[in-house]
Amino acid sequence: MNGRKEATLFVPCIIDGMYPEVGEAMVEVLRRLGVELCYPAGQTCCGQPAFKAGYRKEAVVAARHFIRTFESAGTVVCPSGSCVAMVRHRYPELFRDDPGWLEKARAVGGRVFELTEYLVDVLGIEDVGARYRGKVTYHDSCDLLRGLGVREQPRKLIGRVRDVEFVEMKDSERCCGFGGVFSFKYGDISTAILKDKVRNILDSGADTVVGCDMGCLMNIQGILSRTRHPVRAMHIAQLLAGSSDALPSPARRVPHPPCR
């Protein structure tokens, strides 16, 4: 790709509040590739939790704030398929009876990309210079796969990581049972789905399961830890940053390069 590479960061709530190392890993990968970054300090939740819980009015408030915050940005990059799907596909639904906001929502949604689709589809890069020694499998999160159609991009990136042995798990595209409020409202069903997912991860023989959404990974890591299985759950940004750490502790804050 020729020319100057610039991107504005959209960091989801769960990463900003609980797993800032994932945001730091994304920054490290993008800076390694020469992408100039900025972070709008006024960003908050995109409204996905409220939307999926049925609180449309509250979701509209969050969506309007998001649009105001990012409407002057160029390309926006986010390490979450579900948050990008919310902006790209759910905002037009929220504003379908409001032509003014609908136009703004579509404009912003067309510039927001999930991290792996930005790397592969926008920058045209599959090898980011990463190295990780381990046997890795990959979990397809629902919104990323079915909402955005992103399947091959993460696999291409993982396949170019040095020293990685990649193995597909059975039914990698099946839900992990998280679904935000679904896991709280329907705990028994969620747990049954999660157990199937973990069984497939263990049967793959991998020592690390990689994904693109921290909600899924938090859910999967939780049961792996409770059942004392030594398989690590890792966001793909961490893998691509060359980290060999397990899920990070919420100890540090994401660096926020300011926007001009």
pLDDT-based confidence at residue 251 (cuts at 50, 70, 90): very low
pTM equals: 0.91
Q: Residue 232 pairs with which residues in a beta bridge?
A: 208
260 versus 246: the higher-pLDDT residue is 260
Enter the CATH code of domain 127-241.
Answer: 3.40.50
Q: Tens digit of pLDDT for each residue in 114-150?
A: 999 999 999 999 999 999 999 999 999 999 999 999 9
Could you read off the pLDDT of 24-65 as tens digits, one per residue?
999 999 999 999 999 999 999 999 999 999 999 999 999 999
Distance between CA atoms of 4 and 6, rounded to whole angstroms? 6
Answer for the pair 166, 132: CB distance below 8 angstroms, yes or no.
no
Longest dimension (CA), the chain: 52
Per domain, the residue ranges of the chain are 6-121, 127-241
